[in-house]
Amino acid sequence: MAKAKLTFMGGIHPYDGKDLSKDKPMKAVLPKGDLVFPLSQHIGAPARPVVAKGDRVLAGQKIGEAAGFVSAAVFSTVSGTVKSIEPRRVVTGDNVMSIVVENDRLYEEVDYAPVRPLEELTKEEIINLVKEAGVVGMGGAGFPTHVKLSPKEPDKIEYVIANCAECEPYLTSDYRRMLEEPDKLIGGLQVILSLFPNAKGILAVEDNKPDCIKLLEEMTSEEPRITVKKLKTKYPQGSERQLIFAVTGRAINSSMLPADVGCIVDNVDTVVAVNRAVREGKPLMNRIVTVTGDAIANPQNFIVRIGTNYHELIEEAGGFCKEPVKIVSGGPMMGFGIFDLDVPTTKTASALLCLSKDEVGEPSACINCGRCVEACPSRLVPTLLSTYSEHYDMEAFEKYDGMECCECGCCSYVCPAKRQLTQAIKSMRKMVLAERKKASAANQK
């Protein structure tokens, strides 16, 4: 194994804003109004509805089934009546086919199938339980977890890394989960390790969370297959490529998967959801959402039932204490600004950040200072790639490794000319991927 460096080249140290909510324990929120369940809350094929308008559903009942291997089931998180199946706006601004459930506020749940001890389950049964529970990557990507846990050569997996870095500013949901429910995180990691007999488990935590590190070290002291790695605090430490390099010294690029270098990486909430699916037989129905920012009266970490309207979360956090100038879904670095709060919480919704000031200024010409190059964790030249993007020069963009960008936002953050480098590169990456898809489809005909 290459030597673990516990950090990576490049990166930045932005204001982290975590003090606003890090000392607020997780608090369960019961939704009041209708719940909206988009059928596409994951990478891959949208789920297929298995209920019809007028049906009564219970919390924990499957309402959308996976439509293929790379897909994920969707479950109702309340009891009530299916009001409609229609396109509804989601946080990205897209209209997505969704199941709308009228909440009867009784919160009646299905009777879950009895669970068997982990030792009695086969690998296929464990992966199937994760699939049937609709578990996806909850760090933002939304990749169906059962697919990630089914690599071509499972015996070559040497590390299962729980991504406990939480490097994104303002977010404290993983921090609270580690402090309050460490047993569920460790339990989930044990479940995943049972699939990979040659693997070690690693809890990768940034060193700005000494209380989490101490607690997890104490709780895993008798676990021969699990260790805690204390990573240097730097953004984007939690990005998959940077995390793998920091923990194992192994490098991957955009054409590789973590499994290609013997790694499986899962976010804290995802590992907890795996634990819930396998040990409790319960589907993915809730997640932790940090509602924070200087415009929020009482920043909190909420246990939110998926499908809950964002307006209700703002109300639960005491509403606005200042007029929000910018509302971001996610964190300030990789989240995106939203224009409407009348959207549902989904499996990948990590935070709602409400700010009274907009730090994004008017862009001006590049001054060739090189700060973006210094900050880029992928060792690219963002100013050059941004220029190619603005000129729609796809060939040059690919030639200079534009597809290696991890869209972390470091370049835009450090740019003194306030150029929107990440946004331009991100747009061009989408165009390249769309072209590749088109070419692939044409070749298959």
Residues making up the annotated binding site for [4Fe-4S] cluster are 366, 369, 372, 376, 405, 408, 411, 415
Length of the chain: 445
Q: Give the list of residues 6+ apart from residue 207 with CB closer than 8 angstroms, or none.
A: 213, 230, 231, 232, 233
Alpha helices in 251-321 (DSSP H): 268-275, 310-316
Position 426: which residue type? K
Long-range contacts of 371-375 (CB under 8 A, 24+ apart): 371/414, 371/415, 371/416, 372/410, 372/411, 372/414, 372/415, 372/421, 374/10, 374/414, 375/10, 375/11, 375/12, 375/410, 375/411, 375/413, 375/414
Distance from the Cα of residue 190 to its chain's centroid = 21
User: Which has the closest alpha carbon to 11: 299, 231, 312, 283?
Assistant: 231
Residue indicated by tokens 């690599």: 151
103 beta partners: 80
Q: 366: burial class by Cβ within 10 Å (0-12, 13-18, 19+)?
A: middle
109 beta partners: 59
CA dihedral 176, 234, 251, 223 (to 10 degrees): -40
Binding residue positions: 366, 369, 372, 376, 405, 408, 411, 415
Tokens of 208: 């700005």
Residues 134-158 as b or e (16 or more Cβ within 10 Å = b): bbbbbbbebbbbbbbbbbeebeebb
Q: 211: burial class by Cβ within 10 Å (0-12, 13-18, 19+)?
A: exposed
Contact 264, 161 (CB under 8 A): yes
Q: How many CB atoms lie within 10 A of CB 320?
A: 15
